[in-house]
Amino acid sequence: MKIYLAPMEGLADVHLRQLIAQTGGYDMVFTEFIRVVDQLLPEHVFLRQAPELENQGYTRCRTPVRVQLLGNHPEALASNANRACEMGSHGIDLNFGCPSKTVNASKGGAILLKEPETIYRVVKNVREQMPANQPLSAKMRLGFDDESTMWECAQAISEAGANEIIVHARTRSQGYKPPAYWHKAEDFEQTLQIPLTINGEIWTPDDAKRATTEANCQSLMLGRGAIRNPFLAQEIKNTERTAALWTDIAPLILEFWDSIVGSMSPRYCSGRLKQWLSYLRESYVQAEDLFSVIRKSTEVEDITTLLKREIEEV
């Protein structure tokens, strides 16, 4: 079984990627999308989104990192894919699933599911121009408004030469609302003859089993499930392992805080921590308590003191 950490813009940044990857079980982590319009982006843009490129494209604990690109311009995507690979990305992922209205308005993300021929051109051009030894994956939803173009898009991706297909098993209009329709991809791997990774609504080892069984594949991608429980990949792969306890999670929070305080502007730190806690509290009542304790604080020093007091007691 292969497990990927999903690209999550504004959430799974380098700090969370490092922490989640170090819990073990992840075969690869994906960066937040890098938006490509019609230009080759400067290296600093790649380094901002993927500082791991300075470490040969690995997290601190040596999990490979794959850069995700979003756009519709075949030439510009190909030149940026090449640059990302030269800088150390482990393959490239193309985003055909982003539901954001702004992104879709500029013909990026899920809107391209309405245009399988554009998907074909983009994938083909990127595949032909990027290094042959680097894998290309494409991440799609089941469709835009409905599933009417699902097969055409999936076929465009495989016929254009992508090496892997990742399916977030919902249409764009279904947003992030449960359920995810894993079984809709059940014939993908056999028909397309490329490996399928299934994604969407995998919160527990049991979900992982059902998702891969229903989608007929050996590979899955964890998104919000990994944010709520960073140890989820371990728990899926190692059936002996019991669910992570708060005592496993709490030290990660302190580590996360040190990491963001060490590298981010102080005005963003409290927001980032509260954002993660708002996911963790879905799984851990202690995260809810911690959230209430720091809720009114915005100053780094205050939060550091509160966190130490609350977490070091654990």
Ligand X SMILES: Cc1cc2nc3c(=O)[nH]c(=O)nc-3n(C[C@H](O)[C@H](O)[C@H](O)COP(=O)(O)O)c2cc1C
Q: Name the site residues for ligand X (rule: CB under 6 A).
A: 6-11, 32-33, 68, 95, 97-98, 139, 168, 199-202, 222-225
Between 67 and 294, name the residue whose CB sits nearer to ligand X.
67
Between 3 and 250, name the residue whose CB sits nearer to ligand X.
3
**Of 98, 153, 217, 269, which one is the catalytic site residue?**
98
Cα 230 from chain centroid (whole Å): 13
Q: Active-site residue 98, yes or no?
A: yes
Between 98 and 307, name the residue whose CB sits nearer to ligand X.
98
Spell out the alpha helix ranges (H) of 130-245: 150-159, 188-192, 205-215, 224-228, 232-237
Please report how close the Cβ of residue 223 comes to ligand X at its closest, in angstroms.
2
d(CA 266, CA 276): 16
d(CA 245, CA 80): 41
d(CA 282, CA 185): 28
Please report how close the Cβ of residue 243 comes to ligand X at its closest, in angstroms.
17
First to last CA, the chain: 34
Between 52 and 201, name the residue whose CB sits nearer to ligand X.
201
Please report how close the Cβ of residue 205 comes to ligand X at its closest, in angstroms.
14
Please report how close the Cβ of residue 25 comes to ligand X at its closest, in angstroms.
15
User: Which of 27, 35, 119, 96 shows the shortest CA–CA distance to 66?
Assistant: 27
- Find the residue with minimal CB distance to ligand X: 223
Please report how close the Cβ of residue 208 comes to ligand X at its closest, in angstroms.
10
Backbone region of residue 91 per phi and psi (left: phi > 0; alpha: psi in -120 to 50; beta: other values):
left
| Contact between 164 and 135 (Cβ < 8 Å) | yes
Between 199 and 250, name the residue whose CB sits nearer to ligand X.
199
Which residues are marked as active site?
98
